[in-house]
Amino acid sequence: MILPQNRAFCDTSFFFASLCPHDLKFEEAGRILDYCKDNAVTLCTTWDIISETITLLRYRASYKAAIEFMDVIKPALSIIKYDDSVRIATEEVFKKLSKDKRISFCDAISYVVVTHLLKDMPCFSFDKDFRSLGLLVYP
């Protein structure tokens, strides 16, 4: 795994898989997290993904998993802050790309953050949407 600057952007699908034992990617997410811990990889994300992850964990896993994410994982993350220029760019990206691709607005925000602010940082995601947007995705 090649991670420039030892950093990776994390998507909801990665976080969910790491905390939900019945997820098909649970073991793979665990191996990636072990690699990150062993190699001091900084995990980056946005508040949008944090919100989406907590909601998904609560709805599809459990209250306990949602709280574990908030109390244990979130404090260890590097949360990327952005201004209104990212929101404006996201609206344009969403209008352009969602014609042909079924992407969420949160995915569009992630795309803008990764491509504009993080200079195409590699992403940890099990969501096919990140790949369809042309982002560098592991695994």
- Number of folded domains that form the chain: 1
Instruction: Please give the pLDDT value at position 49.
Output: 98
All residue ranges of the chain with pLDDT < 70 are none
Contacts of 92 (CB under 8 A, 6+ apart): none
Instruction: Please give the pLDDT value at position 3.
Output: 93
User: Looking at the domain assignment, is residue 139 inside a domain?
Assistant: no
The 8-class DSSP code of residue 116 comes to I
User: Looking at the domain assignment, is residue 112 inside a domain?
Assistant: yes
User: Looking at the domain assignment, is residue 35 inside a domain?
Assistant: yes
User: Looking at the domain assignment, is residue 20 inside a domain?
Assistant: yes
CA atoms within 13 A on the CB side of 27: 1
User: Looking at the domain assignment, is residue 106 inside a domain?
Assistant: yes
CATH label of the domain that carries residue 33: 3.40.50.1010
User: Looking at the domain assignment, is residue 137 inside a domain?
Assistant: no
| pTM confidence score | 0.95
d(CA 5, CA 75): 20
pLDDT tens digits, 58-94: 999 999 999 999 999 999 999 999 999 999 999 999 9
Own/partner pairs, 108-111, CB within 8 angstroms, 24+ separation: 109/46, 109/48, 110/9, 110/11, 110/46, 110/48, 110/49, 110/135, 111/135
Percent of the chain having pLDDT more than 90?
Answer: 98
Instruction: Please give the pLDDT value at position 1.
Output: 84
Domain residues for the domain of 43 are 4-130
User: Looking at the domain assignment, is residue 90 inside a domain?
Assistant: yes
Q: Tell me the average pLDDT of the chain.
A: 96
